[in-house]
Structure 1
Amino acid sequence: MVARSKTTCELPTGLALNEAAVTLADFWHPSMGQVGCPAAPLLQAHLEKGGVPSELGTADHEDIGGALPKEPATLIATTFTMPGGEVLGLAVAAPPRWIDQARRAVHDWTAAVRTRRLFVPAVLPGCEEQRRPAPGPIPRPARNGQHTCPKLRSIDFAARAFASDGDTVLVVGPSDPSASESLGRPGTAQSWTRVPDVETARRMALPSNGAAAFVLAPCTSVRTASEILAVLRARLPRLRGMHPDQWCYRTDENLAAMAGAMAASELVLELGAGTAPQVCANQPVVNLRSWRELDAERLRQVSTVTVINAETSSPGTLSLGEVQEVLAGLGPLAVVNHRVVTETHLYLTAGASKRKRRKV
């Protein structure tokens, strides 16, 4: 529908422009009426990158047609109809000296108008147990120097229980300063050794009696923990530890959400907020700090885009809302909030379930 409805026209205007072209955020069209141009920032950046001074503006009914100045600006505009009937467009009002550049800019971005999907990896904010997805991976926070992971209490309880049995407690997973402070407070298990990686697990001194138990450091990736535990179990046959239904899967969910969204897309827009876990991308990645970094030719070829490292407000970055609004100005946009959820429970055999019911 969008492709078939695209039309480009040139109209005289009553605007008297000297040095700069005006990229229109909305304008009045003789047959379409008022036309919105959400993608105007891309068109403006395109012109400026090509050496054409441009500013954002609007053109109403009085500006189109009517009495013309000595050197009138020409409106070059493409309009297209969205599935809901809304008319959007791309438009530049250019003085005679910039008319050719304006035509090329509108032509290039008109070719990029198409239906798209925008993947937004959705993860849990703040490592909370309540599963409320939020746009963009968010790092685990620390409040007043104390870790907020809800698993910390069960980790601390397990560590103290193992230590009271005489086991050396191994805290498996990368170091987190806020979590370390919490685990080391008075009243918690004091006899514990951190094992942050596989190399440490291979080289560390073992307890002489072989009695050791592990807990996972808060928000440790289960994949990372499994690699470390494989080494520890080979060296400590009597190793015991937290049951897997007590492990935190949030980090793995973040990584899986990121990897899944990126694998489904043809282009990744990295917005620079620094909130995403490190995931290797096989697709082109654009470090999008301004609209100048996104060119029409690249966007024309892709129908699926993923946004990472997005925040609602961060100095020097574009927000997720801005990206959604501008891309929606280039044709129908479906926003896909992609999330991964892991749920665990302790399985009871049929016999155990029957015994439990009889006991009750």
Structure 2
Amino acid sequence: MQASLARAALVLVMACFAFRDGMASSASGTGGKEPQFQCDSSGRSGAIGINVNNIGFPSLNSDQVISALSQSGAGWVRVSIFWGWTERQRGVFNWQEIDQGLSKLQAAHMSVLITITGPVPCWAFGTNTNCTSPRNTIPPVKEWTAFVTAVVQRYSHQVHYWEIWNEPDLIQSIDLPDATQRLVQYRDDILIPGAEAVHSADPNAKVVAPAFAAIPSGHTGMGPDLIHAFTMVMKGAGAHLVDIVSFHSYYPEDINQKAIFVHNAMLGMEMNSKPIWITEAGLHTVQLGIAMSNLKSLDNLNFAESKQAQFLTDQLNTVITHGNAQKVFWFALTDSTNGSGTHTNHYGLIDNSDFKTFSWKPRPAFLSLQGLVHSACMK
């Protein structure tokens, strides 16, 4: 235990030095521009958010989860409303867990970005289908916009930022094999009607999109593919209806360089005045070549977690300080689970002993995040 605390303290100190050095170098390269950490009176950063969409609204009923979010230094939370699980029958909504989760976040003074996404419930396709369970596919527009309208109207007093679908460039999110068809139908049948429904239900709300994974397997990797995909999706009404541009970026990509690249793509669409939010960023140990089973080795665990901590510090500090992204949402507060309580990845900022009580202890990356925010906000 003492060794673990010593290791965590060392990482925290390293994070603070890394932040200081990054501040010095970025200030000299941007004419002394002040960092954009958007600190509030409680010392939280409005430029940093944390994803809990992998564990969902039920987890927000845990005081342990709320405590971890509150202590992190982040001012925002990103969480998803899944259509197929919220409206299992036409017009019959399961609002309870969402109501409770948003109340908990509001009491903790956390701001919220909600992603409205699939799967699409079977009833939406009518009776003459072979659908037996909700599908990640293109929804019927009328039913989709009705759901978006119901969600935004119900929560307009608590939530003002709505992301339309999650990673629509991937076949796992929209089950169309042709990449171009996926993007065109996302634009025409999900994004544009969904954004119109948001603005109609709450004229003061902001639409966030397209939440691209922005990776080669989605034909949206950084380079000509990303420019082509972004231009296609934002063509026409999309560019005007989307208020904030979102995308995802994971190790080993440089978040700042990706943000610059996306901004350059926005120039051609006359969207350059709109903010960029990176709504997922993170590092999984598999990306370091370390399988989950090999994390039982203390050396492997220490190496992986120190790399996560350093990556978080370097990437958040650089992209926010340079002002190339207005917000970054780290993925994720916890590891994901397969439903039986088994950890299926090692993305989490905290090490939770289970997925019921969420009793937790901080990982080095959590301490690095605290150190980064403290250095920026407690001057």
Q: Is the pair's TM-score, using the shorter chain for normalization, greater than 0.5?
A: no
More helix by share: 2
Q: TM-score, length-normalised on structure 1?
A: 0.28
> Rg: which structure is higher?
1
Q: TM-score, length-normalised on structure 2?
A: 0.27
More strand by share: 1
